[in-house]
Structure 1
């Protein structure tokens, strides 16, 4: 669609803004860099952790292996559990069995140290990440003040799933108990929640009046609900994202439906922001639109 109205909400503890990072990044304060890496090395030896070093100075060890599991690919949705601790053993945050976290992988949506660690973990595996402060929460107090600035951290994680866009869509349909009426080769699913076989078909050149709302697949609220008003859609002019317009043409006047499609038919790699500058739609986001066709002329 064109207008966005709701910020993308993510878990505040581990989310960062969509800004670029470089693997070569080193904290400009050399003392902090040395302190962190020394502390982490000492901690690993003291606790008998056979760690391996990866990007950003992160050290990791797989504590439960699943060699046949899938490694995450860019834009996969990660479903994981975590416990965050200081190196003195103090637990400062936890996402346990019933509070799994979901984040896109490889898009700088997470802490740099988490991105680096998850690149080495397969579905079904558990791991420990020891992350220097400059690749974790940095030079500010974090986690409600529980974590002082410039503090290296330990993440104990379980990676439940790494879902592709298609898998995310299938999971969304299953969770909502939808029955797909039409599956197109481009990945668009049309789900008719109210069929009107006698309704007039929609064709290019018409202006279609609709009610609609658009959501991310895990959102509890839409990013755009049309403000409760109807919207006029001129078909065939390319004024709207392809998944929305193509899906709309699979409905008839009077019908209601849900249009679900991959990011290739939506906003692709583009980040969409709301009116106050928050991320409303991250890159590589499959979308779902609930639509009611009111009339066509």
Structure 2
């Protein structure tokens, strides 16, 4: 890993701690200077463009784009349906998700960068706001080649189109999975009580997998559109203890239906896969954050996943 990447990772990993501790310890510190510079750049942008925006106590400026005072405020734990678009303050479009709503759980750590969370907590259903995120509530001095530089400030347009419960999402995803099975002519698959859809692709002749086994297997994890999220390498299978939570529950349940030598297809609604996960905006940097241990999953929130699995050995 090169020095620049190491510095980037360190910056991001300790950012929250620095934001709390450092300003109270060092007068006129580099961190405070960065805060002041970011605030001034955003203030100048707002002034020069004659924008009516309010600054919250946390440092984010808000501009109302669409108001709906009668709309419901989401509650902590609700699943939010949102549309959004992220640009740098100088106008570079990083990600646009304004056609279809994406899902995320309303909680204090639902989204990276952290400043987005401060926008979510004031949105009513049907409202759209523009948030001006200073670098210290975004990616601080972290930078990503071809995306944004260090101490970048951002503009986020975000709209709350609705809310849902976890049960709503489960039912919707079961319908989506069954439509996929029908369109792909996968046959008559019946889900387990958890919602796992299992199809044996090639019979195995070895021992059945049991919860006390250690399993050696190959897998390919994909989304329903066929995009590969992650897969094992030919010479490096996954070795996992089946009596732990090393696998998401639906993956483990599927492996426990298999015999040595068997190949199978598993389709998992998100509640037995990666659930609410964490939303990374822009999503293009998700893999880099995951590779360096800064987030726990490559999978976006509320994603249906498929596994193509080959169980090589159990012992």
- TM class, shorter-chain normalised? 0.5 to 0.7
- Structure 1 residues 257 and 75, CA gap change in structure 2 (3 angstroms): farther
Which position in structure 2 is the counterpart of 1:91? 91
- Structure 1 residues 211 and 123, CA gap change in structure 2 (3 angstroms): farther
Number of residue equivalences: 270
For the 8 Å contact 1:215–1:288, the answer to whether it is kept is yes
Alpha-carbon distance between aligned partners in 2 of 1:239 and 1:109, rounded to the nearest angstrom = 24
Q: TM-score, normalised by structure 2?
A: 0.56
Counterpart check, 1:32 vs 2:37? yes
For the 8 Å contact 1:70–1:162, the answer to whether it is kept is no
Which position in structure 2 is the counterpart of 1:112? 114
Higher helix residue share: 2
SS at match of 1:57: coil
SS at match of 1:258: strand
Which position in structure 1 is the counterpart of 2:252? 245
Which position in structure 2 is the counterpart of 1:222? 229
SS at match of 1:91: coil
Which position in structure 2 is the counterpart of 1:156? 157
SS at match of 2:58: helix
For the 8 Å contact 2:274–2:297, the answer to whether it is kept is no
For the 8 Å contact 1:215–1:221, the answer to whether it is kept is yes
Alpha-carbon distance between aligned partners in 1 of 2:241 and 2:162, rounded to the nearest angstrom = 40
Alpha-carbon distance between aligned partners in 2 of 1:38 and 1:151, rounded to the nearest angstrom = 14
Which position in structure 1 is the counterpart of 2:74? 71
- Structure 1 residues 196 and 288, CA gap change in structure 2 (3 angstroms): closer
Q: Deviations over 1:156-193 (max 9, x none)?
A: 33345667766389548726714762243xxx432123
Greater RCO, 1 or 2 (C-alpha within 8 Å, sep 6+): 1
Gap regions ≥5 residues in structure 1: 1-15
Which position in structure 2 is the counterpart of 1:7? none
Alpha-carbon distance between aligned partners in 1 of 2:309 and 2:16, rounded to the nearest angstrom = 38
Residue 58 of structure 1 deviates from its aligned partner by 0.7
Gap regions ≥5 residues in structure 2: 1-10, 24-30, 183-188, 279-286
For the 8 Å contact 2:84–2:156, the answer to whether it is kept is no
For the 8 Å contact 2:83–2:97, the answer to whether it is kept is no
For the 8 Å contact 2:82–2:158, the answer to whether it is kept is no
- Structure 1 residues 65 and 204, CA gap change in structure 2 (3 angstroms): same
Alpha-carbon distance between aligned partners in 2 of 1:137 and 1:231, rounded to the nearest angstrom = 33
List aligned pairs for 1:115-264, cutoff 5 A: 115-136=117-138, 138=140, 144=146, 153-160=154-161, 167=169, 170-171=172-173, 174=176, 177-178=180-181, 181-184=190-193, 188-194=194-200, 203-204=210-211, 210-214=217-221, 220-225=227-232, 227=234, 237-238=243-244, 240-241=246-247, 243=249, 244-251=251-258, 254=262, 256-260=264-268
Alpha-carbon distance between aligned partners in 2 of 1:222 and 1:206, rounded to the nearest angstrom = 26
Which position in structure 1 is the counterpart of 2:307? 289
Q: TM-score, normalised by structure 1?
A: 0.58
Calculate the aligned-residue CA RMSD, in Å: 5.4
Which position in structure 2 is the counterpart of 1:3? none
